[in-house]
Amino acid sequence: MARTLRATLLMAAALTLPVVAGAADDDEVRARDDRIEDLERKLEVVVDELARVRTQVAVPEEPELKSLYGFGPAASKIYGIERGLSIGGYGEGFYTNFINDEGSNKLDTTDLLRLVLYFGYKFTDNIIFNSEIEIEHADEIFLEFASFDFRWKEAINFRAGLLLAPVGFVNEIHEPPFFFGVQRPFTEQRIIPTTWRENGVGIFGQIGENISYRTYIMNSFQGADFSDAGIRGGRQKGSQTLAEDLAWVGRVDWTPNDEWLIGGSLFVGKTGNDEQVGGVTLPGGRLTLGELHAEFRRGPFHSRALFAMSHLANAGKLSNALSLGPTDAIAERMFGGYAEVAYDVWPLIFGEATRYLAPFVRVEYVDTQDKVPSGFLEDRTQANWIFNPGLQYKPHPNVVLKAEYRNFQQRSGNGADELSLGFGYAF
């Protein structure tokens, strides 16, 4: 393209030069040649500058995006440019019809759930800034992450800022074309509180060709906002965070070949932050959250499995300090897990792999009241089996249309089922 542009500009400019008659003397010919050479040098500079500017704005030319260094595929674009600014984004929306079981009074909803822009800047090959700015529900603005990478070696690099906790499948890679279902898995909302981000510093890298890792020191949760539904309310989200208690989180993934990914992560941190409620300093209960995950892909077949469990020390003291009711206790132990399978049937139906059409099934169990402190009663409405069939259609690798049915079966009875239609995109 650059050579074509150069030739076009040079031809147009040359036509503007005076036409020299056949009887022109040698001095005039030499003067004309000098002007052409000077013009050609200037055009070289202009074309090179245009090419440089083009590489600074990351407009993807490949149809499929790729995840790198713990970021979603669209968020990873900054790593693929030579220098300068990268812009990406994603969005999603849905309609949900609640099928009322057992007298549930939930009303049908529609929501433009997220509109997100990624802004990254590559100062040098070794200094990279990346960020995600999100508008939720069309009227709330959040900073999802904002971090600097200082790259040193393949095995050891440094990261600082508002960081995504490297836990589970969806917390880091939550762009809608790259997970199944209209809603994110229940386990990765209640047990792993996606999207979960805190201020911190740490290191990340690749060891050999098969092992990657990320490990950070971050501010911990705010235990005063835990509930019987889980730890999600305790996220501080990087906004004026209490940092009396710090936490450690680490993750390791092993990819023995192109088909398998096997890994796990662990978070450990106290959650009191010396905060006072009603003149009483909250007990600094230590939260330990671990998860194991595996993914297998072969041709049109795709499967995932994840199991997560947490333990909160001093859960009874914390529940008493917050004056919680007998069935509202913050649990000592919570756990959840799911398995899902999907198969791309488009080639089977149409004989070519130009689109993607995958029925999927996910089965989950989540219990945020698995073990409650002595003196409290378990809230059995917080224990759910979720049976989740659905359909995923991609007319383009980065655009998805989704449909799903979520059947909730609580230990205390049946919750309201959900029939949802949604869309998502990334660029």
Q: What is the dihedral of CA 143, 229, 365, 253, to 10 degrees?
A: 40
- What does the pLDDT look like over 218-252, one tens digit per residue? 999 999 999 999 999 999 999 999 999 999 999 99
pLDDT the model gives residue 59:
47
What integer pLDDT is reported at residue 20 of this predicted model?
Answer: 42
48 and 179 within one domain: no
164 φ/ψ angles, rounded to the nearest 5 degrees? -75, 125
CA–CA dist 70, 191 (Å, integer): 20
DSSP of 3-54:
HHHHHHHHHHHHHTSPPPPTT--HHHHHHHHHHHHHHHHHHHHHHHHHHHHH
Q: What is the dihedral of CA 404, 410, 416, 417, to 10 degrees?
A: 20
Same domain, 99 and 48: no
266-315 pLDDT, tens digit per residue, is: 999 999 898 888 777 888 889 999 999 999 999 999 999 999 999 999 99
Q: Is the pLDDT of residue 197 over 80?
A: yes
More confident residue, 39 or 203: 203
Task: Answer yes or no: is 156 within a domain.
Answer: no
| pTM of the predicted structure, to 2 decimals | 0.85
Are residues 175 and 34 part of one domain?
no
Has residue 135 been placed in a domain? no
Average the pLDDT over 194-214 and give the result.
97
Same domain, 211 and 284: yes
| Domain that includes residue 32, residue range | 2-52
Q: Is residue 377 part of a domain?
A: yes
- Contact between 151 and 157 (Cβ < 8 Å): yes
At 23 the pLDDT is: 44
Say if residue 8 is in the same domain as residue 98. no
What integer pLDDT is reported at residue 342 of this predicted model?
A: 98
For the record, the structure tokens of 27 come out as 């001095």
pLDDT of residue 51: 62
231, 362: one domain: yes
Does residue 57 sit within a domain?
Answer: no
pLDDT band at residue 11 under the 50/70/90 scheme:
low
Please tell me the predicted confidence (pLDDT) of residue 413.
Answer: 72
Q: Do the domain assignments include residue 131?
A: no
What's the rounded Cα separation, in Å, for the pair 389 and 406?
7
> Of 38-52, 60-74, 84-98, where does the model show the most confidence?
84-98
- Name the residue among 85, 77, 82 with its Cα closest to residue 60: 77
Split at pLDDT 50, 70, 90, the class of 50 is low
pLDDT number for residue 22: 46
In this structure, is residue 105 part of a structural domain? Answer: yes
CA–CA dist 143, 210 (Å, integer): 32
Whether the Cβ atoms of residue 119 and residue 104 lie closer than 8 Å to each other: no
Residue 117, H or E segment: strand 109-122
pLDDT of 84 > 50? The answer is: yes
Q: Which pLDDT score is estimated for 392?
A: 98
Q: What length does the chain have?
A: 427
**Contact 189/229 with Cβ under 8 angstroms?**
no
Give me the phi and psi of 5, to 5 degrees please.
-65, -40
Residue 280 to residues 60, 271, 319, Cα–Cα distance (Å)? 55, 15, 12
Letter string b/e over residues 29-56, b meaning 16 or more CB atoms within 10 A of that residue's CB: eeebeeeeeebeeebeeebeeeeeeeee
Q: Domain holding 369: CATH number? A: 2.40.160
Q: Are residues 12 and 105 in the same domain?
A: no
Instruction: Identify the band that residue 60 occupies on the pLDDT scale cut at 50, 70 and 90.
Output: very low
Query: How would residue 89 be classed by pLDDT, with cut points 50, 70 and 90?
Result: very high
pLDDT surpasses 80 at 42: no
Q: How far apart are the first and last CA of the chain?
A: 24
Question: How far is the C-alpha of 59 from the C-alpha of 57, rounded, in Å?
Answer: 6
**What SS3 state is found at 79?**
helix
Report how far residue 152's alpha carbon sits from residue 141's, in angstroms, rounded to the nearest whole number.
Answer: 34
pLDDT digits (tens, 9 = 90+) for 356-377: 999 999 999 999 999 999 999 9
Task: Compute φ and ψ for 276, nearest 5 degrees.
Answer: -110, 135
Q: Examine residue 136 and state whether it is found in any structural domain, yes or no.
A: no
- Asked whether residue 73 is assigned to any structural domain, the reply reads no
The pLDDT of residue 54 is: 55
Say how many domains are in the chain.
2
